[in-house]
Structure 1
Amino acid sequence: MALLDVENLTIDIPTEAGLLHAVGGVSFSLDRGETLAIVGESGSGKSLTSLAIMDLLPGRAIRRATRLSFDGIDLAATSDRQMEDLRGDRIAMIFQEPMTSLNPAYTIGDQLTEALRRHRKVSRTEARDRAVHLLERVGITAAASRLGQYPHQLSGGLRQRVMIAMGLMCEPDLIIADEPTTALDVTIQAQILRLLRDIQREFGMALILVTHDLGVVARVADKVAVMYAGRLVETGTTRAVFGAPSHPYTRGLLRSIPVPGRTAPGEPLGTIPGQVPSLIGNVSGCAFRNRCDLAVEACAGAIPDVALAPGHSMACILEPSLARPQ
């Protein structure tokens, strides 16, 4: 049985202009120890999908799913109290911007120990010892002295490491990392990614990595789910998606990143023209059709899920041989 099983997840948000269909029909599964990367440009619904799993959506958002199961627990049917018992304990989240996720009024030590003392019967001393151990594990020097500091006294890289340590306090089964390397310089990004990968292997956790950086995905993910305008357009193993990208959007994303040894210095990178369509009101057909060079009239109708290979599929009416570049 999969640790996390998501089937036909939809998220609608009422707005003054009408109902916003932010996420529509998203399905994926994740086993213990696996890493799933959800990729796509800003506004594609990646973060809302992860917040739906945590039941942390905005108050007006409407979440529906045929199945939303974590280790046999029906997340769609759990009470607020049951979700509070799961969050921070068995499911943890590393938020996108640690400066706004960490409370500026509380010390690092207070924020690290809060979840452990909430979910485990441990003393304050035991909780602080655990916090020091994990701060050291994530590469923070003089860890004990950091407990008395406030978030504004730490650099961006150190704050991100604190967020990772916070997520590990109760040794969760699943960690959701929402753009964990955003706003960090390239050197720190590489350190954070290596740290996440090493810790995942050490603790045997499942990891959902939300990102728009395909270079990150290639280094750490086992499976990839490419998301556009609230829908999954291509899913598969990292090897399959990178080795044989089939949906026109996936190929557009891959053309936008340089390839070592193939992209010459100064050579212009690929772009995807146009804009993401509005998701308010009636939404039908392929949302990418207004930006796709291969679009035909039938793209405005129902879009099937096409199996490309075992565990690799795309949502497109084109034959795989036509969708892929010749």
Structure 2
Amino acid sequence: MTDATAKPLLSVRGLTLDIPLASGILHAVRGIDFDVHRGETLCIVGESGSGKSLTLLAIMGLLEKNIKRSAERMDFDGIELTTASRRQMRALRGDRIAMIFQEPMTSLNPAYTIGDQLIEALQLHRNVSRETARKRAVELLEKVGITAAASRLGQYPHQLSGGLRQRVVIAMALMCEPELIIADEPTTALDVTIQAQILRLLVDLTKEMGVAMILITHDLGVVARVADKVGVMYAGELVETGPASDVFGTPLHPYTRGLLRCIPQPGKTERGAELGTIPGIVPSLVGKVEGCAFRTRCPHAIAACREAIPEQGTPPHEFRCIFADGARAAEGEAA
């Protein structure tokens, strides 16, 4: 259980990402706040294009040059990431903060063996011999469930299955014993059985090693199983955040409730019953964006939804909606 009074390992406040386009400024991420504590798993969920991956790339300092990043604070264990130099960020990446990308074949260099890449990951940040790095690589490959680990070091990425490649990427992320792992849909390219194994492996390793993790996923079933905290993202904003048990048990934002209606619930959803849907499409975030971005798809929207939306709720369970109870909308003029 995370100590709520402890200082967060990562604290983000007011993160905003703007992308200049020919048609105007795309407000891809808009003023999001969240904290992650040591040993805690934060899952960020939402539709494609909601800004989840860009948020994590902003933390890692891996944004494209044309993207403008601003934030009140992005504090990683006392290091302000918004003002950190390139040298500081290079020192952090792969050492204290590690990232697991969605597709392992794009994370691994096809021209180098698995062993060379694992060894380099450690020697880049630690003053250790190649033999010491090799022993660490074998140890971690065994820890992530790869058999005959020593012989795997001489293989190239294309000689491994998708599941084995993703396990190698996880081992690489753990080589320097990071304090924070950022995982961007790490099981998307895998079949369902392997997905479950990889996710369980990730969660078990983070708990065992006391590592914090931010996990992006579309799968609410995954979130329910592994998350300590949940952030629900829509159109560049975190519309609801809180402990997983609270967000799933008493969802307060209409978008969160809509997402949960779209998935079958064991013991509640009858076989053959229609699942819920969320009508409409995500609005454009190019140009001026006002009020609640979800109002064009929300069955409870009223004229006031065009105005500034307050953050409500009781920490740590908070949401952005004009309706204080978050559960039932008042009657009124459609926005």
TM-score (norm 1): 0.97
Structure 2 residue 173 is the aligned partner of structure 1 residue 167? yes
Structure 2 residue 69 is the aligned partner of structure 1 residue 67? no
Paired AA for residue 297 in structure 1: A
Q: Conserved in 2, the CA contact under 8 Å of 1:32 and 1:205?
A: yes
What pairs with 1:236-247 in structure 2 (closer than 5 Å)? 236-247=242-253
Select the residue among 18, 43, 48 that pairs with 1:42. 48
Structure 2 residue 261 is the aligned partner of structure 1 residue 255? yes
User: What percentage of aligned pairs have identical amino acids?
Assistant: 70
Structure 2 residue 300 is the aligned partner of structure 1 residue 310? no
The separation in 2 between residues aligned to 1:321 and 1:38, in whole angstroms, is 20
Two-structure CA RMSD over aligned residues (Å): 1.3
What pairs with 1:102-251 in structure 2 (closer than 5 Å)? 102-251=108-257
What is the CA-CA distance between 1:197 and the residue it aligns to? 1.2
Paired AA for residue 266 in structure 2: P
Specify the alignment match of 1:20 in structure 2. Answer: 26
Paired AA for residue 50 in structure 2: S
Q: Conserved in 1, the CA contact under 8 Å of 2:13 and 2:32?
A: yes
The separation in 1 between residues aligned to 2:326 and 2:68, in whole angstroms, is 38
Paired AA for residue 136 in structure 2: R
Specify the alignment match of 2:106 in structure 1. Answer: 100
- Residues 288, 249 of structure 1: CA spacing in aligned structure 2 closer, same or farther, 3 A cutoff? same
> What's the CA shift string for 1:146-199, capped at 9, x where partnerless?
111111111111111111101000000000011011121221111111101110
What is the CA-CA distance between 1:265 and the residue it aligns to? 2.3
Name the SS of the counterpart of 2:42 in structure 1.
Answer: strand
> What's the CA shift string for 1:249-275, capped at 9, x where partnerless?
000111111111112222221111111
Paired AA for residue 106 in structure 1: Y
The separation in 2 between residues aligned to 1:162 and 1:315, in whole angstroms, is 39
Paired AA for residue 170 in structure 1: C
Q: Which consecutive unaligned segments of at least 5 residues does structure 1 have? A: none
The separation in 1 between residues aligned to 2:9 and 2:243, in whole angstroms, is 17
The separation in 2 between residues aligned to 1:17 and 1:115, in whole angstroms, is 41
Structure 1 runs (4+) greater than 3 angstroms displaced:
321-324
Q: Which consecutive unaligned segments of at least 5 residues does structure 2 have? A: 1-6, 330-335
Paired AA for residue 311 in structure 1: P
Q: Which moved more, 1:173-182 or 1:149-158?
A: 149-158
The separation in 2 between residues aligned to 1:14 and 1:4, in whole angstroms, is 28
What is the CA-CA distance between 1:128 and the residue it aligns to? 1.2
- Residues 275, 248 of structure 1: CA spacing in aligned structure 2 closer, same or farther, 3 A cutoff? same
The separation in 2 between residues aligned to 1:104 and 1:263, in whole angstroms, is 46
The separation in 2 between residues aligned to 1:134 and 1:217, in whole angstroms, is 25
Q: Conserved in 2, the CA contact under 8 Å of 1:50 and 1:176?
A: yes
The separation in 1 between residues aligned to 2:328 and 2:65, in whole angstroms, is 40
Structure 2 residue 274 is the aligned partner of structure 1 residue 271? no
What is the CA-CA distance between 1:102 and the residue it aligns to? 1.4
Q: Conserved in 2, the CA contact under 8 Å of 1:41 and 1:212?
A: yes
Specify the alignment match of 2:4 in structure 1. Answer: none
Specify the alignment match of 2:324 in structure 1. Answer: 319
> What's the CA shift string for 1:8-38, capped at 9, x where partnerless?
0001111121111100000001111111111
The separation in 2 between residues aligned to 1:77 and 1:275, in whole angstroms, is 36
Q: Which moved more, 1:254-263 or 1:1-10?
A: 254-263
The separation in 1 between residues aligned to 2:154 and 2:305, in whole angstroms, is 58
Name the SS of the counterpart of 2:224 in structure 1.
Answer: helix
Paired AA for residue 129 in structure 1: K
Paired AA for residue 81 in structure 2: L
Q: Conserved in 1, the CA contact under 8 Å of 2:253 and 2:326?
A: no
TM-score (norm 2): 0.94
- Residues 299, 109 of structure 1: CA spacing in aligned structure 2 closer, same or farther, 3 A cutoff? same
Q: Conserved in 2, the CA contact under 8 Å of 1:116 and 1:127?
A: yes
What is the CA-CA distance between 1:40 and the residue it aligns to? 0.5
Name the SS of the counterpart of 2:230 in structure 1.
Answer: strand
Name the SS of the counterpart of 1:306 in structure 2.
Answer: strand
Q: Which moved more, 1:267-276 or 1:43-52?
A: 267-276
